[in-house]
């Protein structure tokens, strides 16, 4: 079970945090990790991140796009990185499409990146073929 990650998106409003926290607690006792997807793009923003204390925070493309040239995006991502470091969460930067974005995120010590710069989505059989090489 320790390889399972439940991704929660910021795009939906949570109406009952108490019930959600109860359910998440039960999942965590089984070894399931919690990820916040699209951080920085949704309704609840920092409130959801603070209340859920995720194991993984996935920075939305709206934050990573042009992060190398936009000080506001870089500053917010830096704050989320600091939060992640202090809470022992991982940061995954989504939507990395340029060398500049990649270099900046690397300098910021982001844990993981994903995006078209690194590879396009593949059919499962093609991805498995790459793994077997």
pLDDT for residue 16: 87
Q: What is the C-alpha to C-alpha distance for residues 48 and 10, in angstroms, rounded to an integer?
A: 8
| Domain of 89, in residue numbers | 5-131
Task: List the CATH number of the domain containing 87.
Answer: 3.20.20.450
**Contact between 34 and 27 (Cβ < 8 Å):** yes
pLDDT for residue 45: 67
> Mean pLDDT, the chain, as a whole number?
90
Long-range contacts of 74-78 (CB under 8 A, 24+ apart): 74/104, 74/108, 76/40, 77/105, 77/108, 77/110, 78/108
Could you count the other beta carbons within 10 Å of the beta carbon of residue 88? Answer: 8
When divided into structural domains, the chain yields a total of: 1
Whether 38 shows a pLDDT value over 90: the answer reads no
Mean pLDDT of the 71-89 span: 95
Whether 115 shows a pLDDT value over 80: the answer reads yes
Q: What percent of the chain is modeled with pLDDT above 70?
A: 92
pLDDT tens, position by position, 84-101? 999 999 999 999 999 999
pLDDT tens, position by position, 44-71? 567 778 888 999 999 999 999 999 999 9
């Amino acid at each position: 079970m320790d390889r399972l990650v439940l991704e929660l998106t910021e795009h939906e409003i949570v109406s009952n945090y108490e019930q959600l926290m109860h359910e998440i607690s039960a999942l965590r006792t089984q070894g399931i990790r919690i990820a916040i997807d699209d951080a920085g793009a949704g309704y609840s923003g920092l409130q959801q991140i603070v209340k859920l204390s995720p194991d993984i925070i996935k920075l939305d493309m709206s934050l990573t796009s042009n992060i190398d040239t936009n000080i506001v995006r870089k500053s917010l991502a830096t704050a989320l990185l600091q939060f992640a470091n202090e809470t022992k969460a991982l940061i995954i930067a989504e939507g990395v499409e340029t060398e500049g974005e990649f270099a900046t995120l690397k300098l910021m010590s982001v844990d993981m990146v994903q995006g078209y710069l690194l590879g396009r989505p593949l059919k499962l059989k093609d991805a498995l073929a790459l793994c077997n090489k």
